Amino acid sequence: MKFANEIMAVLKYQGVDIWDYSNEIESIEAGTDIEERLKSEIRQRDVFVPMVSPNSMDLSVGRYTRLETDYAIKSGKTIIPVVLPDSPEPAQWLPPYSMLLNLLYLRFEFMDDKDFIRNLVILCQKLGAGFQPLDESHPRLPFWSFFRAEIHDIPKSNYHYGLLMSILWGFNKCFFMEEWVQAENRIGLFIRNCEYLVPDYAMFYPYIVHAVCLRHMAKYDEAEKEYLKAMESRPGYGLENIYGGLAGVYLEKEDYEKSFHWYERSLKESTAGLNGDEKFNFVVASLHAEKEVSRELSDFVLGLEPIKFGKEAKYLYNAKACLLYLKGMLHDSIGMLNAGLQANCHDENTFLFYIRSMLAIVRKSLEGSEESGKFLARFSIEPNEDSACVFLIHMVKRAVDLYYPHSKKLSRCLVELSKKRGDFEQARAFFETYILGENNSREDLMEYALLLFHLGKKHAAAEMAKKVLGMSLKQLPANHREMYFEGMAYYLLDQKESADFCYRNANLGLGYYDTCF
């Protein structure tokens, strides 16, 4: 039945008029002479398509299929036999199917997409229907062959199968055209119909594909829920797809520790290893999480060409620069970042990596490296940290003003570079211009308070500390980090007992924090 369902659904999608008695509207009414009704429908049709299978030839199970086929042959109908999987060889066909041996028949391999589509094209041509491609999105749709195999095995009527497949093919077209909102709507509709029509069906790949659409729409929290639904639906099944999907979600959310964790689990579950995209993303997660990257993966990423990444080339430039930095090739690292900037392929991390590499080159120069000194001279940077900071402040400020006006990461870099120079007045000015606002965290406010404290503005610093403590009247510190900055506020207000209490609690989770200042 599942094979007949799929062929009928496809033919309906192509506009072929089929009598489908699994549809309640077209079903055979109670009390009707079944044989006469079957013969009547065959007489009204132009073409008869017998499905040749072990069941259709069975003397008991195939009573009506044999009757239909025999009547179609005797009525002189145009007949196009379709041979289903596991059918006997033609020489073993029983009557009336043995009378079809001289006709060209179609043998469908349902799990071979190319073969399936090729036979559909031939069948539609025979029926005079223009074939509308079903599979143009298959190469782009992740897990398509697994998805189709899963849907293929859903027990349902021909009518319901046709309905579900029509929704699915509409989804395919939207996915292929990268119309993500429409694609997400259709795959969501598909899932809801499955839940209603076949409630005993434990879905897996529909959830996975839905999550892929949500990721394209940057709805990462919703995508995460769909991956978890798939995991709950079939425990222990397809874990490499779930883990890899979750790793991708956390990578987009910039939660690199979790992304690295899930990529590692995906790698352990996958018999074939990670694919090219996953390898690259695993390296990106590893670099940001400050995990070691194997030589094999490092060489793989360094061998990739930016032109193949299109709009996403910025991630490759950054990853290559990081790997070169880790190899100690600092000048090449800066060269890679400059190449990304010149190609207008950059993000916040490009400038963060630039700062790290340039300051490392300054340290090399101060250690006596003539090569590093010459390299710095190309940028008109003196071989000292102050000169490098001036250069980097100018570069990062321009980046913030032109490209990333809401980037706290880069704004903090301006503050830290100024502090590194000992210019706390400039650091305060940058903080007030780019960071200070209505929705600052405890950490933001305490960072500002310390700048004021260093500048001798102790009263203003104390007012900031009071503001931090006022936040706890609305909501208590949510984690050890917030507790640490609350302790800092108490300390600035000379409430050392309360400060000590906060520090001791903070150090339960932040042992690496220095609580003395």
Note whether 130 and 11 are within 8 A (CB): no
What average pLDDT is seen over the chain?
87
Number of other CB atoms surrounding residue 221 within 10 Å: 9
According to the model, what pLDDT value does residue 516 have?
Answer: 43
| Cα-to-chain-centroid distance, residue 143 | 12
According to the model, what pLDDT value does residue 364 have?
Answer: 95
pLDDT class for 141, splitting at 50, 70, 90? low
| Cα-to-chain-centroid distance, residue 82 | 39
According to the model, what pLDDT value does residue 195 have?
Answer: 87
| Cα-to-chain-centroid distance, residue 1 | 35
- Biggest CA pair distance of the chain: 106
Note whether 469 and 490 are within 8 A (CB): yes
Query: Could you tell me which of 285, 351, 275, 280 has the C-alpha nearest to residue 313?
Result: 280
| Cα-to-chain-centroid distance, residue 60 | 50
Least confident of 12-26, 154-168, 240-254, 272-286: 154-168
> Can you tell me the mean pLDDT for 153-167?
68
According to the model, what pLDDT value does residue 28 have?
Answer: 80
198 vs 433 pLDDT, higher one: 433
Tell me whether strands 82-83 and 51-52 are parallel, antiparallel or unpaired.
parallel
CATH number of 1-132: 3.40.50.450
Paired with 47 in beta bridges are 78
Q: Is 135 exposed, middle or buried (0-12, 13-18, 19+ CB in 10 A)?
A: middle
Least confident of 20-29, 339-348, 358-367, 416-425: 20-29
Paired with 48 in beta bridges are 79
Percentage of the chain lying above the pLDDT 90 cut? 59
Least confident of 152-156, 353-357, 371-375: 152-156
What is the rounded distance in angstroms from the CA atom of residue 277 to the CA atom of residue 345? 18
> Can you tell me the mean pLDDT for 221-225?
96
> Can you tell me the mean pLDDT for 442-469?
94
Helix (H) or strand (E) holding 370: helix 370-377
Domain ranges of the chain: 1-132, 437-517
According to the model, what pLDDT value does residue 421 have?
Answer: 94
Core vs surface per residue 451-476: b (16+ CB within 10 A) or e: bbbeeeeeeebbebbebbeebeeeee
Count of H-run helices and E-run strands, the chain: 25, 5
CATH number of 437-517: 1.25.40
**Residues 73-129: pLDDT tens digits?**
999 999 999 998 888 888 899 999 999 988 888 888 766 767 777 888 888 888 887
Q: Is 383 exposed, middle or buried (0-12, 13-18, 19+ CB in 10 A)?
A: buried
Q: Is residue 58 helix, strand or coil? A: coil
**Residues 229-262: pLDDT tens digits?**
999 999 999 898 899 999 999 999 999 999 999 9
Percentage of the chain lying above the pLDDT 70 cut? 91
Q: Is the pTM of this model over 0.75?
A: no
pLDDT of 485 > 80? The answer is yes
Number of other CB atoms surrounding residue 82 within 10 Å: 19
pLDDT class for 265, splitting at 50, 70, 90? very high
Euclidean distance between the first and the last CA atom of the chain, given in angstroms as a whole number: 76
**Residues 170-195: pLDDT tens digits?**
787 788 778 999 999 999 999 998 88
According to the model, what pLDDT value does residue 476 have?
Answer: 87
Number of other CB atoms surrounding residue 328 within 10 Å: 10
According to the model, what pLDDT value does residue 124 have?
Answer: 85
503 vs 398 pLDDT, higher one: 398
